[in-house]
Amino acid sequence: MKDSNTKVTKSNRESHPWLKIKLNTNENYRGLKKMVREKKLHTVCEEARCPNLHECWAVRKTATFMILGDICTRACRFCAVKTGLPTELDWEEPVRVAQSVKEMGLQHVVVTSVARDDLQDGGAAIFAETIKEIRKINPITSVEVLPSDLGGDFESLKVLMDARPDILNHNIETVKRLSNKVRAKATYERSLEFLRRAKELQPEIPTKSSIMVGLGETKEEIMEAMDDLRANNVDILTIGQYLKPSKDYLPVEKYYHPDEFAELKEIALAKGFSHCESGPLVRSSYHADEQVRSAQKNHQVL
């Protein structure tokens, strides 16, 4: 599903200086924001209050597009995206996303969405159409998709995989023991099966997943989650610090030090992941362009 949501407050910045972010509202930032508004698009960068927004928009000039509206049918206890009954189903949206990718000159684009349990296919057809439209006018741009579990409907997953994204990303979000507490409707086992089946449908397409830490998990449970992902042939892993969006969400049980994230990265690579991004402000789309290059290089070597 969507990138994990975050809020970097003054208090946790002061206690944990590695969470400090630099605000940048340069011309790139203003231009991208204007384009998103004019084309009536949503980005997970804004909807999920991502702490990397200013770096990605102002410096890297990248964004993660969120299709299928901005209202989610699920109410996960870590996520700031609005919850309710969606009404939006805009078949012109894939074209607008593709045009925006061209205007931004992106070499790699990430497309995610809210969960749409109100749709029979969970939005798979719109995802597939978005991939098609991006490729039509941006033939050298690689496309990463980050869908929900599509309600566990594997025929819908086939529709999505038949469109051949360059990376299939689906987040397990947390360790097995905490999954039911953290996520709504989604299950740990179904997410693993989703990732496994995606790889079975298109073995050459890298798969990717993400976990948040700081929710009360143990180091052993994190390593167990890594093993579960590798057992289901997941190639890329991202690990980031959970930061609750507001007082109404799950509390942060622990702030991990950057050295702990570095250790988790070493463990992940030793377990066979082709690439691992691990750090306090890492989210599943963070430096996604670098991740796809790393995965492609690794695949060529194999």
2, part of any domain: no
1, part of any domain: no
Comparison of pLDDT for 187 and 302, the residue scoring more: 187
Return the bridge partners of 113, or none. Answer: 67
Q: Rounded to an integer, what distance in angstroms lies between the CA atom of residue 186 and that of residue 172? A: 9
Summary mean pLDDT of the chain: 84
User: Which pLDDT value is given to residue 278?
Assistant: 95
**270: Cα within 13 Å, side-chain hemisphere:** 7
Order of strands across the sheet with 42-43? 42-43, 64-67, 108-113, 142-146, 167-169, 207-213, 236-241, 275-279
Share of the chain above pLDDT 90, in %: 58
Q: Helix or strand or coil: residue 213?
A: strand
Comparison of pLDDT for 88 and 210, the residue scoring more: 210
Query: Among 4, 109, 113, which Cα is nearest to 49's?
Result: 4
User: Which pLDDT value is given to residue 42?
Assistant: 64
Q: What are phi and psi of 169, to 5 degrees?
A: -115, 125
User: Which pLDDT value is given to residue 298?
Assistant: 58
20, part of any domain: yes
Q: Does 58 have pLDDT greater than 50?
A: no
User: Which pLDDT value is given to residue 195?
Assistant: 98
| Domain assignment of residue 60, given as a range | 10-301
Q: Rounded to an integer, what distance in angstroms lies between the CA atom of residue 241 and that of residue 235? A: 21
Overall domain count for the chain = 1
User: Which pLDDT value is given to residue 143?
Assistant: 94
Q: Are 236 and 275 in contact (CB under 8 A)?
A: yes
211, part of any domain: yes
User: Which pLDDT value is given to residue 302?
Assistant: 42
With a CB cutoff of 8 Å and minimum separation 6, the contacts of 283 are 3, 4, 6, 50, 52, 210, 238, 240
User: Which pLDDT value is given to residue 228?
Assistant: 98
User: Which pLDDT value is given to residue 61?
Assistant: 56
pLDDT for 193-205, tens place per residue? 999 999 999 999 9
Q: Helix or strand or coil: residue 254?
A: coil
Q: What element of type H or E holds 157? A: helix 154-162
pLDDT for 221-232, tens place per residue? 999 999 999 999
User: Which pLDDT value is given to residue 247?
Assistant: 84
Q: Does 4 have pLDDT greater than 50?
A: no
Q: How confident is the model at residue 297 (pLDDT cuts 50, 70, 90)?
A: low
112, part of any domain: yes
Q: How confident is the model at residue 65 (pLDDT cuts 50, 70, 90)?
A: confident
228-233 — which CB contacts under 8 Å span 24+ positions?
228/172, 228/176, 228/192, 229/172, 229/192, 229/195, 229/273, 230/271, 230/272, 230/273, 232/192, 232/193, 232/195, 232/196, 232/199, 233/195, 233/196, 233/199, 233/207
3, part of any domain: no
Q: What are phi and psi of 221, to 5 degrees?
A: -70, -35
Q: Rounded to an integer, what distance in angstroms lies between the CA atom of residue 170 and that of residue 165? A: 13
Q: Does 53 have pLDDT greater than 80?
A: no
Tokens, residue 74 = 């699920």
User: Which pLDDT value is given to residue 159?
Assistant: 98
Q: How confident is the model at residue 103 (pLDDT cuts 50, 70, 90)?
A: confident
The mean pLDDT of 38-54, rounded to a whole number, is: 56
Comparison of pLDDT for 255 and 79, the residue scoring more: 255
Q: Are 175 and 168 in contact (CB under 8 A)?
A: no
Q: How confident is the model at residue 22 (pLDDT cuts 50, 70, 90)?
A: low
- The CATH number linked to 224 is 3.20.20.70
User: Which pLDDT value is given to residue 292?
Assistant: 61
Of 41-55, 168-182, 207-221, the poorest mean pLDDT is in: 41-55
The mean pLDDT of 285-292, rounded to a whole number, is: 62
> In whole angstroms, how far apart are CA 208 and each of 87, 125, 158, 184?
30, 21, 17, 21
Q: Are 71 and 85 in contact (CB under 8 A)?
A: yes
Q: How confident is the model at residue 1 (pLDDT cuts 50, 70, 90)?
A: very low
Q: What is the DSSP letter of 228?
A: H
Q: Are 75 and 184 in contact (CB under 8 A)?
A: yes
5, part of any domain: no
